[in-house]
Amino acid sequence: MKANLINKTIEMSKSEANKAGKINSAEFNELNTLRSMYPTFEIVIKTSSTKKKSDYKGLTYSYMEMYITAHDDENKSIMEEYKTLRGISDEAQEVLAESLSYKKIKEWFLNKYPAIAEFHEKRESLLKNKAA
């Protein structure tokens, strides 16, 4: 929840609005504080922007592991890189390293295996051509 001084609005999410409807909840008290500070401001419920559907549906960690296993070099160095990024290599576990985000691991994977990205782009292109 925030006061937007430029638009003269008190902005909150739908979830915050629902919680603010309960007397003495943290959101209720926060809303009352903002309303007393800015009595002329309009209350606006912000809707979340819809995220674009992923073109990489099914690109899970287990899929990445299967693909790397099938396409790794003889030293298994790519799988070792993957395990380090995931925080599951012996070295990573020794230093209690956490996994990088899925987004960063996905970017690494697609850079390592550009054929996957090319396939998904080709598939999207086929769908667009069929719709036209």
Q: Could you read off the pLDDT of 64-106 as tens digits, one per residue?
A: 999 999 999 999 999 999 999 999 999 989 898 899 999 999 9
Structural domain contains residue 55: no
9, 16, 11, 15: which is closest to 46 by C-alpha? 11
128, 117, 126, 132: which is closest to 56 by C-alpha? 117
Please give the structure tokens belonging to residue 131: 């719709």
Residue 132 three-state SS: coil
Structural domain contains residue 31: yes
Domain count, the chain: 2
For residue 127, what pLDDT is reported? 81
Whole-number mean pLDDT of the chain? 89
Same domain, 81 and 112: yes
Structural domain contains residue 117: yes
For residue 46, what pLDDT is reported? 87
Same domain, 74 and 108: yes
For residue 81, what pLDDT is reported? 95
- Which residues pair with residue 12 across a beta bridge? 45
Same domain, 80 and 125: yes
User: What are the pLDDT digits (tens) for 7-19?
Assistant: 999 999 999 999 9
